[in-house]
Amino acid sequence: MDSNTCKLYIADVTILNNDSEYEKYSKIVSEERRLKAAKIKARKEKNLSLGAGVLIELAMRDLKLTVDNFCPTMDTDREGEVYYNLSHSGSKAILAACNNRVGCDVEWMGRHTLSEDMELKLSDRFFTRGEYECIRAAHEKADAAEGLMAQALREEAREVFFRIWTLKESIIKAAGKGLAIPLDSFEVSREAEGFTLRTITPGEVNFEEYSLYTEDFGDNYCYSVCIHSNEEYELQTERIDL
């Protein structure tokens, strides 16, 4: 794939609720993925797992790669020509692919996903003080408004929470260490030009080497990507119709 390009594949897996469609797509994924999905009892999670496997196969075809040079970011023992990471939420499965290690996260931002109180409690417990204050200030601004303005500001406050959440998830995945990295050891800041990243507690990960991308496609989902490079990348999105 082109250098300084990251591809984000997005699929809605609702169609997999149909047994015949599920069976059809189960034939194109790897045996490992097919068995993994088969072990999941909840149909929603089963569909998402299979959908993620479908994205792996379709991305390899699109990028003309094989399992030998298409490497999961979290497999830190391997080097690949292109790295990929998966995430899913609601009815969406996504895959980010890049020539540097990459992490991605998607979350549904539905009105009843989390209450304002729960967003603040989670932020206070797991995020940095700066991230918590950013989210709290957004909610206080909404609480001080009235009518349609208050409703719009509440939606904005919810979005700020989900942007920070999905970016932090993407960062720890791009670093290949997951939750072994304390979530309060780095900070995602909301700036006029977007979101920036800085180190709070120095460790083995240099967060200044990473770049952040977050997208809003008007579908009530938050899509975020982190790339292990401080160079500017073009994020190309491809929606996959299952």
SS3 108: strand
SS3 135: helix
Is the pTM higher than 0.85? The answer reads yes
Condensed to tens digits (0 to 9), the pLDDT of residues 6-39 reads 999 999 999 999 999 999 999 999 999 999 999 9
Mean pLDDT of 129-154: 93
Can you give the pLDDT at residue 10?
98
Can you give the pLDDT at residue 199?
92
Condensed to tens digits (0 to 9), the pLDDT of residues 157-201 reads 999 999 999 999 999 999 998 888 999 999 999 988 889 999 998
Can you give the pLDDT at residue 76?
86
Q: For residue 115, what pLDDT band results from cuts at 50, 70 and 90?
A: confident
Please enumerate in sequence order all residues whose Cβ is within 8 A of that of 16, keeping only pairs 6 or more positions apart, or say none: 22, 25, 47, 50, 51, 242
Can you give the pLDDT at residue 135?
95
Can you give the pLDDT at residue 111?
63
Contact by Cβ (8 Å): 165, 107: yes
Q: How far apart are CA 76 and CA 237, in angstroms?
A: 26
User: How high is the mean pLDDT of the chain?
Assistant: 93
Q: How far apart are CA 72 and CA 210, in angstroms?
A: 17
Can you give the pLDDT at residue 129?
96
Can you give the pLDDT at residue 179?
82
Can you give the pLDDT at residue 194?
85
Condensed to tens digits (0 to 9), the pLDDT of residues 193-227 reads 889 999 998 888 899 999 999 998 999 999 999 99
Q: How far apart are CA 195 and CA 24, in angstroms?
A: 40
- Model confidence at 96: pLDDT above 80: yes
Tokens of 154: 């509440």
Can you give the pLDDT at residue 28?
95
Can you give the pLDDT at residue 110?
80
Condensed to tens digits (0 to 9), the pLDDT of residues 67-80 reads 999 999 999 888 88
Angle between helices 129-143 and 116-126 (to 10 degrees): 160
Of 113 and 133, which is predicted with more confidence?
133
Can you give the pLDDT at residue 3?
84
Q: What is the DSSP letter of 111?
A: T
